[in-house]
Amino acid sequence: MSQWFRVFGLSEAAVEPAALLEHLHGQGFPVAGSFRGDDRGWFRAELRFTEDAPPVQVERYFADEEGIRAQLNSWAAWLEEQEGNPHHLALMERLIGTAQLFTLRQPTEDADDGEDADLVELLCLTCCRHLAAATDGVYQADHGGFFAADGTLLVPE
C-alpha cells in the first residue's frame, strides 16, 4: 500500500523546481527531479534517487481546479470531528482557505525494503516540510496526522 502525504498551502506562491531540489540536496537527498508544467507553473514532479528507482510522485493542484475543493472540504470535515484536539478548528479553517494542494506518494515498491523505505519516507517528509514552509501551509501524513511546517504534530490520526 502506498504512503500518501498532503500539503495544504494558504499561499499561491510558486515553489520553484530548482529551489525545491536545492533544498532537498542541502538536506542530504541526492535526488534528480523531473517536472511537468503549464502556464500556472509545475503540476507534477518525479523525484528519484537513481534512474532505475521508483519515483516519489509529487502533484500540485490549485483550489479552484475541478474536484479539489471537495477534497479540501472532506479533510476539513474530518478535522471538525476532532473536537478533543485544541488545534482542530484552526486547522479546519486553514484547510478551507487552502490555495494550493500538493500530494506526494511514496512508491509501493519501497514499502518492504526497510532502510530504503525509511529513506524515501524521510525524503517525503522533508519535501512536505519545505512545501508547507514555502506556502504558509501544514501537511498531513497517512497514519500520522496533521503537522506544522516544522514537523510539530498538531492532530494525530
Q: Are strands 153-156 and 145-148 parallel, antiparallel or unpaired?
A: antiparallel
Please state, in angstroms and rounded to a whole number, the distance separating the CA atoms of residues 4 and 100. Answer: 17
- Selection from 4, 3, 22 nearest residue 134 by Cα: 22
What pTM does this model have? 0.93
pLDDT-derived band at 23 (thresholds 50, 70, 90) equals very high
Contacting residues for 3 by C-beta, under 8 A, at least 6 apart = 105, 106, 111, 121, 124, 141, 142, 143
Per-residue model confidence (pLDDT) at position 27: 96
The span from the first CA to the last CA of the chain, in angstroms, equals 17
CA distance 85 to 95: 16
In the predicted model, what is the mean pLDDT of residues 20-42? 95
- Condensed to tens digits (0 to 9), the pLDDT of residues 64-122 reads 999 999 999 999 999 999 999 999 999 999 999 999 999 999 887 544 556 688 899 99
Bridge-based pairing of strands 145-148 and 137-141 is antiparallel
Please check the confidence at residue 45 and state whether its pLDDT lies above 50: yes
Q: Where are the domains of the chain?
A: 3-156
pLDDT at 110: 47
Average model confidence (pLDDT) across the chain = 92
User: What's the pLDDT score for residue 53?
Assistant: 85
Average pLDDT over residues 19-41: 95
Provide the pLDDT confidence category of residue 1 given band limits of 50, 70 and 90.
Answer: low
Distance CA 135, CA 95 (A): 13
pLDDT at residue 98, rounded to an integer: 97
